[in-house]
């Protein structure tokens, strides 16, 4: 994975400098942990980049906000998986929130391939997320009375959408702008529109929407 706008061997120090700018705490262990796991995080973000149709395969641009947002999530999640160290993972989570206005906790298991169109206002709970997920601004996945949603493969959440509570959002469900799915299931391979009284209306798409976003789907 080629890094753009920053040499790969400077990436760990770059992330640490950003952390120190926002959270000027004296913790020398952070840099060592970031440096130890940055390569795995790059491999993970590289899988996303290679699959996203509008991105150049094999290139990670640290000044591309969506790519960097995904990278910071993968870095925090990788360190959490391998080390179970909350301090640096929390700082990376907060850094991502400060830079990209996303609430994506490091314990959440996002899929191997996903795409963020615009990160502002995205809030993600601990739920089940299928591969080839698409997220746009102000999309929310949340629990309701402890019940968490299950998102299948190829779910697209357009701006201002929400999936809350005991939901099964089935494969290739596409939530139109402004749709809220609350304690309901969706129909696979359909666009979901908001109906009356919280109901949903499902329609067949006119083309393969998921292929607009990803290669090899």
User: 3-class secondary structure for 29-97?
Assistant: HHHHHHHHHHHHHHHHHHHHHHHECCCCCCEEECCCHHHHHHHHHHHHHHHHHHHCCHHHHHHHHHHHH
Taking Cα atoms as reference points, which of 165, 161, 169, 215 lies closest to residue 190? 169
Per-residue pLDDT, 159: 99
Rounded distance between C-alpha atoms, residue 118 and residue 23, angstroms: 25
User: How far is residue 115's CA from residue 25's CA, in Å, rounded to a whole number?
Assistant: 32
Ordered per-residue pLDDT tens for the chain, 217 residues = 899 999 999 999 999 999 999 999 878 889 999 999 999 999 999 999 999 999 999 999 999 999 999 999 999 999 999 999 999 999 999 999 999 999 999 999 999 999 999 999 999 999 999 999 999 999 999 999 999 999 999 999 999 999 999 999 999 999 999 999 999 999 999 999 999 988 999 999 999 999 999 999 9
- Range(s) of the domain holding residue 196: 114-212
Q: What is the CA radius of gyration of the chain?
A: 18
pLDDT at 30: 94
Asked whether residue 203 is domain-assigned, the answer is: yes
- Are 122 and 103 contacting, i.e. CB atoms less than 8 angstroms apart? yes
Please, which residues bridge with residue 3 across strands? 60
Q: Are residues 122 and 206 in the same domain?
A: yes
Q: How far is CA 214 from CA 63, 156, 175, 211, in A?
A: 21, 12, 17, 5
CA nearest 20: which of 40, 8, 34, 7? 34
The answer to whether residues 81 and 156 belong to one domain is no
pLDDT (0 to 100) of residue 195: 94
Residues 73 and 43 in one domain: yes
Tell whether 9 and 90 lie within a shared domain.
yes
Say which residues have a Cβ less than 8 Å from residue 46's Cβ, sequence separation at least 6.
1, 58, 60
Total number of domains in the chain: 2
Do 132 and 175 lie in a common domain? Answer: yes
d(C-alpha 80, C-alpha 106), whole Å: 7
Q: Which of 74, 102, 130 finishes a domain?
A: 102
The pLDDT score that the predictor gives to residue 17 is 95
Q: What's the pLDDT at 6?
A: 98
Q: Which residues make beta-bridge pairs with 135?
A: 116, 157
Structural domain ending residue among the three candidates 61, 80, 102 = 102
End-of-domain residue from the set 102, 133, 164: 102
Same domain, 7 and 94: yes
φ and ψ at 212, to 5 degrees?
A: -65, -25
pLDDT at site 28: 82
Q: Does residue 120 share a domain with residue 40?
A: no
């Amino acid at each position: 994975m080629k890094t753009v706008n920053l040499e790969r061997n400077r990436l760990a120090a770059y992330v640490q400098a950003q952390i120190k700018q926002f959270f000027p705490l004296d913790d020398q262990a952070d840099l060592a942990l970031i440096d130890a796991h940055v390569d795995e995080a790059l491999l993970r973000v590289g899988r996303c980049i290679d699959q996203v149709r509008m991105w150049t395969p094999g290139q990670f641009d640290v000044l591309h906000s969506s790519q960097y947002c995904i990278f910071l999530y993968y870095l925090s999640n990788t360190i959490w998986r391998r080390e179970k160290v909350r301090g640096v993972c929390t700082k990376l989570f907060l850094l991502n929130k400060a830079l990209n206005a996303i609430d994506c906790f490091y314990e959440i298991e996002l899929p191997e391939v996903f795409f963020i169109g615009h990160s502002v206002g995205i809030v993600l709970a601990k739920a089940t997320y299928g591969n080839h997920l698409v997220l746009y601004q102000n999309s929310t996945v949340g629990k309701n009375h402890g019940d968490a949603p299950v998102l299948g493969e190829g779910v697209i959440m357009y701006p201002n959408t929400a999936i809350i509570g005991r939901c099964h959002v089935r494969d290739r469900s596409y939530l139109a702008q402004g749709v809220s799915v609350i304690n309901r299931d969706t129909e696979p391979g359909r666009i979901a529109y908001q109906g009356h009284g919280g109901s949903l209306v499902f329609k067949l798409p006119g083309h393969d929407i998921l292929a607009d976003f990803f290669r090899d789907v």
